[in-house]
């Protein structure tokens, strides 16, 4: 596991806010030379501390006005049914994320749709017809905020 | 603002590989580099493209446990939402705060180093948040699909 010092944590915080910043700008903000900042950023990437970038979009402006989280319990369980379910649910374009969870549900899905009637269509035609699907619980997202996390 | 097919193609290609150069992006989207640069600048100026965030791999940094806490609030308290969310922002282990219309009011994504640490955070920082009427936990087991694609 990679050991982080205060400068590494500051770099991670800055990149989590804006991943497009170059080593020059980040170095200036943190009192590092451009090559020193670049070396540290490369080390963070190589150690797997940063796993990629997230593009932040105004979804309603793109015609995707509704985000719904679904909790799904499988009616039948077993190795085969989990694989079948995961393959089928991952192929639905409106399903953005799929998480396997332990607790009240087996899976947690993030679904985007144009509006509520469009969401209902996705739910009826794509979700409820998935292999092995049992109980489904839906919550419509009203607001969302990401926090910097324990990098203080 | 009117989003056309060219904008959508650029956004799709950007989602597929956010770190790629404008030259690579324009080639994949089938437009000239000048068009791509102009379109991306316009999408940014109109707030459709809000930015890019580095995604931190918390398990790689030693935060092995991730739990989704679904919270129902005591809505008889007039400022329950605001006071709960303000207090949740003060907990460093909280990565996401989402509010919902549905059975769940608020969801917190919480990380911890291990189960013993999670127990400590849960008892010491989460259960002490104001106006909680009910709380249930989903433990993340695996990410099956992550949100790099959108039906745009």
How far is A144 from chain B, CA to nearest CA, in Å?
4
Q: How far apart are CA B131 and CA B107, in angstroms?
A: 14
In Å, what is the CA distance from A6 to each residue of A15, A150, B67?
Answer: 14, 12, 26
How far is A135 from chain B, CA to nearest CA, in Å?
14
Are B100 and A71 in contact (CB < 8 Å)? Answer: no
Q: Which residues of B touch A141 (CB under 8 A)?
A: 98-100
Q: Is residue B53 part of a domain?
A: no
**pLDDT tens string A21-76:** 999 999 999 999 999 999 999 999 999 999 999 999 999 999 999 999 999 999 87
Q: Are residues B63 and B128 in the same domain?
A: yes
Looking at residue B74, what is its pLDDT? 94
Indicate the DSSP class of residue A60. G
**pLDDT tens string A64-116:** 999 999 999 998 767 668 889 999 999 999 999 999 999 989 999 999 999 99
Taking the model in full, what pTM does it have? 0.90
Q: Are residues A86 and A133 in the same domain?
A: yes
Among candidates A50, A55, A64 on the partner chain, residue whose Cβ is nearest the Cβ of B56 = A50
Output the domain CATH number for residue A28.
1.10.10.10
Q: Are residues B23 and B91 in the same domain?
A: no
Q: Are residues A95 and A68 in the same domain?
A: yes
Q: Are residues A32 and A78 in the same domain?
A: no
Output the domain CATH number for residue B11.
1.10.10
Output the domain CATH number for residue B79.
3.30.70.920
Q: Are residues B70 and B128 in the same domain?
A: yes
What is the rounded average pLDDT of the residues B116-144?
96
Q: Are residues B28 and B97 in the same domain?
A: no
Looking at residue A80, what is its pLDDT? 67
- Cβ proximity of A152 and B92 under 8 Å: yes
Domain count, chain B: 2
Q: Are residues A38 and A66 in the same domain?
A: no
**pLDDT tens string B76-88:** 988 999 999 999 9
**The two three-digit tokens of residue A101, written as one number:** 């969870």
**The two three-digit tokens of residue A19, written as one number:** 């991943």
Q: Are residues A33 and A73 in the same domain?
A: no
B15 three-state secondary structure: helix
Q: Is residue A146 part of a domain?
A: no
What is the rounded average pLDDT of the residues A123-148?
94
Q: Are residues B93 and B130 in the same domain?
A: yes
Are B18 and A18 in contact (CB < 8 Å)? Answer: no
What is the rounded average pLDDT of the residues A139-152?
92
Output the domain CATH number for residue A111.
3.30.70.920
Q: Is residue B14 part of a domain?
A: yes
- Report whether pLDDT(B106) > 80: yes
A–B CB contacts, 8 A cutoff, strictly below: 199
Looking at residue A86, what is its pLDDT? 94
Q: Are residues B67 and B22 in the same domain?
A: no
- Decide if the complex's ipTM is over 0.95: no
What is the rounded average pLDDT of the residues A127-140?
93
- Cβ proximity of B15 and B150 under 8 Å: yes
Q: How far apart are CA A81 and CA A28, in angstroms?
A: 53
Are B144 and A145 in contact (CB < 8 Å)? Answer: no
Q: Is residue A145 part of a domain?
A: no
> Residue B93's domain spans which residues?
59-139
Q: Is residue A127 part of a domain?
A: yes
Are B57 and A140 in contact (CB < 8 Å)? Answer: no
Looking at residue A82, what is its pLDDT? 86
Q: Are residues A39 and A73 in the same domain?
A: no
Cβ neighbors of A78 (< 8 A, separation 6 or more) are none
Q: How far apart are CA B55 and CA B24, in angstroms?
A: 22
Domain count, chain A: 2
- Lowest-pLDDT choice from A79-93, A111-125, B23-37: A79-93
Q: Are residues B32 and B100 in the same domain?
A: no
> Residue A17's domain spans which residues?
6-46
Least CA distance to B81: which residue of chain A?
A: A143
Q: Is residue B150 part of a domain?
A: no
Q: Is residue B68 part of a domain?
A: yes
- Lowest-pLDDT choice from A70-79, A138-147, B48-57, B66-75: A70-79
Q: Are residues B72 and B133 in the same domain?
A: yes
């Amino acid at each position: 596991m990679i050991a982080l010092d205060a400068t590494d944590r500051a770099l991670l915080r800055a990149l989590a806010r804006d991943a497009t910043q170059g080593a020059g700008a980040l170095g200036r903000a943190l009192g590092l030379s451009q090559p020193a900042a670049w070396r540290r950023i490369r080390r963070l990437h190589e150690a797997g501390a940063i796993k990629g970038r997230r593009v932040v979009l105004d979804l309603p402006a793109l015609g995707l006005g509704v985000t719904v989280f679904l909790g799904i319990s499988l009616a039948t369980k077993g190795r085969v049914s989990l694989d079948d379910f995961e393959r089928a649910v991952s192929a639905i374009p409106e399903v953005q994320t799929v998480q396997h969870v332990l607790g009240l549900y087996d899976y947690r899905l993030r679904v985007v749709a144009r509006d509520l009637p469009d969401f209902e269509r996705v739910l009826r035609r794509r979700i409820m017809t998935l292999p092995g699907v049992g109980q489904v619980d839906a919550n419509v997202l009203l607001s969302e905020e990401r926090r910097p996390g324990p990098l203080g | 603002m009117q989003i056309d097919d060219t904008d959508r193609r650029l956004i799709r290609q950007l989602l597929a590989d956010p770190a790629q150069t404008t030259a690579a992006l324009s080639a994949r989207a089938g437009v000239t580099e000048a068009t791509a640069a102009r379109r991306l600048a316009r999408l940014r100026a109109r707030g459709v493209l809000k930015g890019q965030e580095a995604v931190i791999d918390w398990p790689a940094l030693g935060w092995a446990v991730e739990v989704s806490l679904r919270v129902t609030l005591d809505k008889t308290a007039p400022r329950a939402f605001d006071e709960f969310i303000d207090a949740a922002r003060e907990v460093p282990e909280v990565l996401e705060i989402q509010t919902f219309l549905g059975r769940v009011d608020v969801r917190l994504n919480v990380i911890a180093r291990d189960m013993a640490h999670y127990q400590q955070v849960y008892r010491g920082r989460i259960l002490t948040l104001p106006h909680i009427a009910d709380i249930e936990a989903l433990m993340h087991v695996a990410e099956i699909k992550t949100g790099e694609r959108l039906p745009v």
